Each structure stands twice: as structure tokens, then as C-alpha cells.
Amino acid sequence: MRSDPAPAAYGIAVDGVSKKMKQTQALAGLSIDFAPRLMHGLIGPEGAGKTTLMRLLAGLLRPDSGTIRFLRDGTEAPFREVRPVIAYMPQQQSLYADLSISEHLDFYRTLYGLSDAAFGPRREELLGITRLAEFQKRPAGQLSGGMYKKLGLMCSLLSSPRILLLDEPTNGVDPISRREFWDLLYRLHEQRILIVVATAYMDEAERCGRAHLLQEGRLLASGEPRDLLAQAGVGSIDELFLLRTGG
């Protein structure tokens, strides 16, 4: 009996990327390597350039200079071939307040052109891991902050992406919802997909396989969180950030 081939491993190489948004230099010669099958954290305060970089990775913006290369099993692939396996969850999600959870899933199923065979199992799987099955009839406008974020994530995941871009997914939710959301991300990480999470919460950096600290469009530090702390001789990402910014 022949086994199915392993899904392709996708990585992203950002090299010397600069981007100006109106009068603001959002990114200034930024270089980051997003290695495959890892959870990467883009860590920094408001104005660090996280959202601009996310939009560039999603193909919604183009860099003023520098390059963004997508790699499939170590070989460069054109963006048009990679785009179908990318899911982007923006900071401000475009959900419809009067549509229920179930109606949102049906809407995105149509948007992605999913067959009955693909949609049914994926729908049940996502409702199960987000623990939203019993709330399927509830309108999005009546969901708590954490449930709203989970619905947005479900809609992004329906297409079974191999690259998942999440822009501040835990911003504005309570601590319990933050923990539940990260538990959900860990379960997704077991599928060996590339996950990039942007966050202003310094403590979330230590939940990632790689942390990339940004400030004013520049890279302050990059690597495994434990290694970064050990090299700098500090006990937390907050301390490391202050050390690198002179705060």
C-alpha cells in the first residue's frame, strides 16, 4: 500500500526589504529567514513594522527595495504558485456581525471553492479544535473577543494552508482566551506548517520556535528564544528588548 507523499515544506527569505508608508519608513533594510515548519514570532511594539511585513508576505504590498523569496522544499518558487497555500489573518478581521459561525464557514467554503468531500471533514475538525461546535448558530456580533478570534482563524484555516500569517491574533482578548488561542496554535504547529505570529506581547515570544524582535522597521535580534536570552545574559524578552533599544 502506497503512502501519501509528505506535504511540501515552505519557507520565506526576506532580504534587505524596505517599505515606506506615506511619510513613515515602516521597514528599513529588513532581513529575516522564516525557516520551514516552525512557529515564528514577530515581536515588537506598535509602529515596529509588523503589520507592514505581514502584508508584504501575504502579497498585499510590494517592497520598495529588497526581495521576498518563497521556498518550497528548499527551492525558490514563484509567488503565484505559493499564494494558494497562504492564509492571512489580519489584525482587523472582516467578519460579518449578523452571520453565524456556521454561515461564515459556508461563506468561506464558497470563497475557496471547496468540495463537499473536502469541506465536511475540515469543518468538523476545526469546530472540534476551537471548541465552537456548540455555538454554530451564534452570530459573530454576539461572540466574545476570544471566540471571535477563533472564528477568524477557522475561516483562514478552511483552505488547509501551509503558510499561516497571523497579525496580532491575541490583541485585546482576556488572558484565558490568549492561553486557549496559543493552545490552538500549538495543535496547528503539529501539522508542520509555517506559522508567523505578530504580537506586541513580549511573553509570547518565548512560545515560538524562533523570535524576531523588531523596532522601527529594523531587526534587533533573531533566533531561538532561549538562545537569545542566554547570549544576552537576561531573563526575559522584555529585558532583551530594553537592552537592545537602550531603554
Domains of the chain, CATH where assigned: 10-245 (3.40.50.300)
The residue ranking higher by pLDDT, 5 or 102, is 102
d(C-alpha 179, C-alpha 73), whole Å: 32
CB-CB contact of 245 with 221 (8 Å): no
Average pLDDT for 87-93: 87
User: What is the arithmetic mean of pLDDT over 180-194?
Assistant: 89
- pLDDT tier, 245 (very low <50, low <70, confident <90, very high otherwise): confident
Tell whether the model's pLDDT for residue 7 goes beyond 90: no
DSSP-based three-state secondary structure for 22: coil
Q: What is residue 247's predicted lDDT score, i.e. its pLDDT? A: 66
Instruction: Please give the mean pLDDT across all residues of the chain.
Output: 92
pLDDT at 180: 86
- How confident is residue 2, by pLDDT bands cut at 50, 70 and 90? very low
Provide the pLDDT for residue 14.
98
Mean per-residue pLDDT, 128-137: 92
Asked if residue 1 has pLDDT above 50, the reply is no
pTM over 0.75: yes
Q: Would the pLDDT of 3 be above 60? A: no
Q: How far apart are CA 41 and CA 180, in angstroms?
A: 17
Is the C-alpha dihedral spanning 71, 77, 82, 83 positive or negative?
A: positive
8-state DSSP, 152? H
Q: Is the pLDDT of residue 227 over 50?
A: yes
Greatest Cα-to-Cα distance within the chain, rounded to the nearest angstrom:
60
Q: Residue 221 has what pLDDT?
A: 95
